[in-house]
Amino acid sequence: MKKALLLLTILSFASLANFAIAEDLATSCSAISDAGCSSTLSSADCKTLLQKCADYYDQQSAQISED
């Protein structure tokens, strides 16, 4: 019983962590689309973030299409 509760707690935190990461990525991608990459990002970091945003939006689009 205790092991099941511990496992449920761990899985709950993992789900919340993934949600927080997705929300942070959504915020970052929104900021980039509004203002572009900031001067604090190198061009390589900007390119990496833009690729992550493209992947994120592709996943969101696929999820919307399923619904």
Whether the model clears a pTM of 0.75, i.e. scores above it, the answer is no
Long-range contacts of 52-58 (CB under 8 A, 24+ apart): 52/25, 53/25, 53/28, 53/29, 56/22, 56/25, 56/26, 56/29, 57/29
pLDDT reported for residue 33: 78
pLDDT, tens digit (0-9, with 9 covering 90-100), for 20-49: 455 688 888 888 877 888 777 788 988 998
